[in-house]
Structure 1
C-alpha cells in the first residue's frame, strides 16, 4: 500500500470516482485520486445499522448546557462512513505494533456493531485512534490542504476537554488523552504535547487505581483486565512523559519525583528478567522494552540537568547508565534478529539514549559542566568516543535503503520516536561539519538523514519541525554543500 494512503478504507468508492467510473482506492478521509486532483472527496453514508446523528448546535455554540448524550452524538457524526470495526482494525494495524497501550481483547469486547450503541468514552477513544492513524495531506506549503486534518485534531481536543467539564473520567478517556498526546509528539505540536502530558497524568491520578496491584489479589477476570489496563496506561504515560521532557529541554519530567514509586509498582510485571521467557509478542512484554529504555533516558536527563553536588558520583552514574544501555541494546538486537531495526521502538529509544549520552560527553556540551576528575572523566569520554562514530554509521546505514528507494517504509510499523533519533544524529553531524571534522563523509551521512526526515515527514509532521531546527543551526556554507550533493 502506498505510504500516502490512509489507514482506513471505505466500503464503497467515493461519489466522484463512482460517477466518473474511475478506479477509487477508497482511502479515508480522501481517496488518492481526489487528493492528487485537489478535489473535494465525499462518500455516501454507510448502509446498515450505523446511524450518524447530526451534532447538536449547543455543543459548538456553548449557549445551552449539553449532556454526555449530546457530546456522544457530535463525536459519532465525525466518524462519517467509518465503522467501529474499521476503528478496531486501524488500531491493530497502525498503533498496536509499536505502542500497545490498549488491550485488544478489552477494546474488542467494548466495541458495539453500530455507533448508536457505543458509550461516550469508547466513542472518544475510537476518535483518538482515527486521529492518530490519519495521514496528513502532502502539501505543507498549502495550509488549506491540512485544514481537515487540523480540524479533526481540534475537535478531539475540544471533546476531551468537554468530558472533563462534565466530570467524566475512565481508563478509555485517559487512553484517549495518551493517543492525542502521542499525536502531538509525532506531529511536532509543542508546547501542546508538553501541556497535554501533564493533564493526562492528572487524569490517570484521578482514577485512583494503582498500576502494580498484585495479580494474586485479582479474584475475577474483570479484576485482572482492569489491572492490565492500569499497567498499559501508566506505561504509556511514563514513556511519553520522559520522551517529551528530553525533547523539550532541561526541565524535569512530570513523573520524575515519583518515578521510583511507580517503577517499584510496575517492576514485578515489567522486569526484563521475568519477561525473558514469555511470549515476546505480548503487549506488556513489548511495552516493557520501551519502559526500560525510557527509564534509562530519565536517569541520563536527571544527571545532566540536575546533577548532585558529588561530581564524581555524577560521572560514575553516567558511565553505569551508558553501559546498561549498551546491554539493553544487545538484548534488543538479539530479539530483533533478522527483522527490520527501523521498526523496533524499544531499540530506537535505546539507541537514542545511548547516542545522546555519548555525543554529549564527546562534544563536552553537558559533560563539561562537571569538573574533570582523573580516571572518571577520562573513562567516560573513552566510552563515548568508542561508540559515537559507530552509532552514527549504524543509524545512517539503517535509514539509507529507505532514502534510496530500495526499501519502502511501512508507516503502520514506524514509531514516531525514530524521528528524534535521526534528528539528533543529524544535529551532531551538523556540529561536526561546523568544526570541519570528517566533512566529506559527514556531508554524505547528513544528506541521508535529512532526506529520511523529509520522507517520513509525509506521515509524521514532527520531521518538518526537526528540519527547521537543523536549518537554524546550519551555516549557509553547509546548506549549500548539502544541496549540491
Structure 2
C-alpha cells in the first residue's frame, strides 16, 4: 500500500474485489488492486440522507443543499454518509500518520472520537471529515470540462457542512480545528481567495468561543466547549502559522493577527519558551509547533518591513538585518535538531528559508545611496545565491530518483519556498546573470514542483505562474535540458 495518502482503511473490501474474491487492502479512496489495474474503485455505503452529490455523481445530478428544513440530526447523517466507509478509528489513524507529523493541531482527537459515528458528536464528525479531506490525494485522471473533480466535490461538501453547522448555531473547538484543516487544505491545493477568506472566518470563530463561552444564550449549540490548555495553545499556533503564511503568499496584505502580536506573545510565551530547554521533549506537539510559530514570526516581520516600510530607509534596512540575524540563529538551532536528510520535512526550517529568501531578494534591489546600504546590497546578493543553492540541493535528491518524498511527513508550506526560489531564478535568468548555473537550478526546482503537484495542487498553480514569467526560449531550454539558452 502506498504511504502517500493511504492512511484511511475501509471496513469492508471494495465492490470489485468482493465480487472477484480478491484480497483487498481496503485503502480509501481507491484500493491498491484497483489502482494497479487502472479501474474504478467503489465501496458500498449505507443509505443515509445526503446534502450533496457523492464523488461518483456529477454536481448537477441533484441540488447541493436540501430544500426541506435541516435539523442537526439531518446534518450529522449527511456528514456520516460522506465519511463512510471511513471509520472513527481510521480517522484517528489518518490524522496521526498524515497530518500530525507536520501540523499537530488536534492532540486530543483520540479522546473525542467514539467507537461508531452514531456515538460521535456532530462537531467531532465534521473534524474527521476535514481530516478525510486533507488526507485524500487528487485523482490522477483529468476532470471533465465544466465539472468539479472528486476532491473538489468532497471539499465543497465539507465546507458547506461546516457552514450549515454555523447557521444552526454550533461552535466549538473541534469545529475551529476543522476550519483550520480546511484552510490548510485550501493553502496546500492553491484555493485562493478561499484560503484568505477562511483564515478570517477561523479567527472569528475562535474569538466567538472566548466572547461567548459554553452556556451563553447567544451560543445554544456549542457541543464541546471543554478544551485543554494544550489544545488552546495548538489552535492559536495553527491560526498564527496559516495567517502569516497566507499573508506572505498573497503579497502586500498584512496578516490578520499582526495587530494582536503583543497579546498573543503573552498568551503563548509560557508554553512555547520552555521548549528551548534541554530537558524538554522536542517531539511533543507543542515543541514542534513552537518552531513553526517562531519561524512564521520571522517571516511576518520581514514581510511587514518590506511591504509596509517607514519613510526612513536606513531604519527599514536595520530592521530587516536584525530579523535576518534572528532567523539565522533559529535556522542554526533547527539544523542542529534535525537530521540533514530530514530538512525537507521541517516546516520551521522551510519558513526560515522563506524569510531569508525574501530579505535577501529585497536587499539586492535596494538602491545604494550610502556605504551601509551598499554593503547590505553586496551581502544580500552573495547570501541570495547561497540560499538558492541550499534550497536546490535539498530538493535535488528527490528529482534524481535517488529518494522519494514521503508525503505523510512533507509539510506543503514548503512548496511556496521552492516556488519563490524558482521565481527569483527565472528573474535572474532573464537578466542573464550566471546563466548556466541558474538554468540548471531552475530545471531542478521546476521538476520538484511537478513531482509534488501530484499530491498538493498548489504546485500546479505555481508552475502556471512561473510559465507566465518565462520566455518561450527559456522554456524550450528547460524542457530540452540545454546547458544554455
TM-score normalised by the chain length of structure 2: 0.89
Identify unmatched segments of 5+ residues in structure 1: 46-50, 211-221
With over 3 angstroms needed to count, the CA separation of the structure-2 counterparts of 1:262 and 1:34, relative to structure 1, is same
Q: Does 1:441 align with 2:437?
A: yes
The match for 1:8 is 8
CA offsets 1:269-294 (integer angstroms, 9 cap, x no match)? 11266545311001001000000111
Cα distance in 1, alignment partners of residues 333 and 274 from structure 2: 10
- What residue in structure 2 maps to residue 483 of structure 1? 479
Corresponding residue for residue 118 of structure 2:
116
Give the aligned partner of residue 156 of structure 1.
158
Aligned CA-pair RMSD: 2.4
CA distance in 2, matches of 1:409, 1:42: 28
Q: Which residue of structure 2 lines up, in the alignment, with residue 213 of structure 1?
A: none
Look up the match of 1:18: 18
**How far is 1:337 from its partner?**
3.1
Change (3 A) 1:441 1:152: same
Q: Which residue in 2 is equivalent to 1:101? A: 105
Distance 1:144 1:299 in 2: 41
Q: CA deviation at 1:80?
A: 1.6
- Are the equivalent residues in 2 in contact too, given 1:175–1:233 (CA < 8 A)? yes
SS of 1:27's equivalent?
coil
Contact 2:275 2:290 in 1 (8 A): no
- Once the two structures are TM-superposed, the CA of residue 445 in structure 1 deviates from its matched residue by 1.1
Task: Summarize the Cα distance change of 1:252–1:56 in structure 2 as closer, same or farther, 3 Å threshold.
Answer: closer
Query: Are 1:329 and 2:331 matched, yes or no?
Result: yes
The residue that corresponds to 1:54 in the other structure is 49
Q: For the residues of structure 2 that align with 1:23 and 1:389, how far apart are their CA atoms? A: 53
Residue of structure 1 in register with 2:215 after alignment = none
Which position in structure 2 is the counterpart of 1:43? 43
Tell me, what secondary structure is at the counterpart of 2:454?
Answer: coil
Task: Check the 8 A contact 1:52/1:76 in 2, yes or no.
Answer: no
Alignment of 1:75-474 (within 5 A): 75-103=79-107, 106-140=108-142, 147-208=149-210, 226-271=228-273, 274-362=276-364, 364=365, 367-368=366-367, 372-474=368-470
Task: State the match for 1:74 in structure 2.
Answer: 78
| Aligned residue in 2 for 1:48 | none
Q: Residue 219 of structure 1 aligns with which residue?
A: none
Q: Is the 8 A contact 1:325 1:353 kept in 2?
A: yes
Residue 13 of structure 1 aligns to a residue whose secondary structure is: coil
Deviations 1:32-82 (A, max 9, x none): 44346554321245xxxxx77433799954433212111111100111211
Q: Which runs of 4+ in 1 moved over 6 A?
A: 56-59
User: For residues 225-268 of structure 1, what are the alpha-carbon distances to aligned partners after superposition, in whole Å with 9 as ceiling and x for unaligned?
Assistant: 52211111011001100000010110111111112221222112
Tell me how far apart the structure 2 counterparts of residues 432 and 338 of structure 1 sit (CA, whole Å).
28
Instruction: Determine the C-alpha separation between the residues in 1 that align with 2:304 and 2:264.
Output: 17
Deviation at 1:159, TM superposition (A): 0.8
Whole-Å separation in 2 of the counterparts to 1:155 and 1:297: 33
1: CA distance, partners of 2:311 / 2:22 = 70
Give deviations 1:146-199, integer Å, cap 9, x for gaps. Answer: 622111100001011111111111110001000000000000000110111110
Gaps of 5+ in 2: 53-61, 213-223
Q: CA deviation digits over 1:350-372, x for unaligned, max 9?
A: 1111112112212x0xx44xxx4
Question: 1:440 and 1:56 mapped to 2: Cα distance?
Answer: 55
